[in-house]
Structure 1
Amino acid sequence: MSGLASVLAGRHAPGVYRWHGNFDAADVRHAVEHAGWAYGHLDGWEIEHKAEFLAAVGEALSFPDYYGQNLDALADCLADLPATVLLWDGWSAFARAEPVTFHAGLDVLAQRARDEPSTPFVVLLRGEGPDLPAVPLLE
């Protein structure tokens, strides 16, 4: 978990990363919460549409009931999060099914990471998928 550990220790900037860590999601959760961060796990293997993505990310990050399940509401709810790591397994299903919408959602997540440096936000895209040249690999 060295890449994740360096993020949690502040040696890597918050943001969106590709990550090949082959750890059980429960172990990742334990490491993240032990460092004092919040954790969300997005199991994306069955997500292929915008509505499914928005519902799943809201559930993974425990958004409030008033979450409107659109990209603006996603941005609003993300702004209220404490320091958080979102582990997104199976992201490639959505990226392949709706690439434009996938990138729009990814942009909202990345914007949150850039806009709120006092409360870091990190997204770990775990697993193989389409090439994402703007998304660095976390090793």
Structure 2
Amino acid sequence: MSGLAGLLAHHHGPGVYRWVAAAPPEDVAHTVERAGWRFGYVDGWRHQTRAEFLTAVGEALAFAPHYGRNLDALNDCLRDVPAATVLLWDGWGTLARADEAAFAAVRTILGEHALTTLLRGEGPALDVPLLE
């Protein structure tokens, strides 16, 4: 799981990264949690719209039941997510291609908080670092 070990050892700061790895989400979760970090997973192949993503991320990161499933609520709830959190977003390119504005807003919000988001899979070119 190249790059992930460096992230978990705090060699990389929080932020949004592209990540190329073939490990199943369960294996990634095991590695992340064993290092004492929290883990969340969004399957972008199944949750392709903004509304579906917002619901899935709320479930993945265990947001409170009153989470409003909108961009403002996402921003607010991410303030309470600990820095040692990895969100793996497989298939992110589906939302990025279908709704560029929504993806751009989500990406900005994710990048403004202490968690680390790993974008895995094909998608449009982005100006985000590759986690190697």
> Normalization by structure 1: what TM-score?
0.91
SS in 1 for 2:113: helix
User: Match for residue 99 of structure 1?
Assistant: 100
Match of 2:125 among 131, 135, 139: 131
1:30 matched to which residue of 2?
30
Distance in structure 2 (CA, Å) of the matches to 1:48 and 1:32? 25
- 1:48–1:98 CA contact under 8 A, matched in 2: no
The structural deviation recorded for 1:62 is 1.1
Q: Distance in 1 between matches of 2:100 and 2:48?
A: 10
> How many residues were matched structurally?
131
Query: Which structure 2 residues correspond to residues 107-122 of structure 1 after superposition, within 5 A?
Result: 107-113=108-114, 121-122=115-116
Q: CA deviation at 1:2?
A: 2.7
- Equivalent in the alignment of 1:118: none
SS of residue in 2 equivalent to 1:2: coil
> What is the identity, as a one-letter code, of the residue corresponding to 1:74?
L
Structure 2: gaps spanning 5 or more residues: none
| Aligned-partner residue type, residue 64 of structure 2 | P
Give the secondary-structure state (helix, strand or coil) at the position aligned to 1:41.
strand
Aligned to 1:62: 62
SS of match in other structure, 1:112: coil
Say whether the 8 Å CA contact 1:51–1:69 is kept in structure 2.
Answer: yes
In structure 1, distance between residues paired with 2:81 and 2:56 = 16
Q: CA deviation at 1:24?
A: 0.9
* Helix, strand or coil at the partner of 2:112: helix
The structure richer in helix per residue is: 1
Match of 2:50 in 1: 50
Give the TM-score taking structure 2 as reference length: 0.95
Residues 97 and 124 in structure 2, CA contact (< 8 A), matched pair in contact too: yes
SS in 1 for 2:87: strand
Partner of 1:73: 73
Conserved? CA contact 1:109–1:123, under 8 Å? yes
Tell me, what secondary structure is at the counterpart of 1:40? strand
Q: What do the CA deviations read for 1:16-39 (whole angstroms, capped 9, x no partner)?
A: 000011101111001100110100
8 A contact 2:2–2:21 mirrored in 1: no
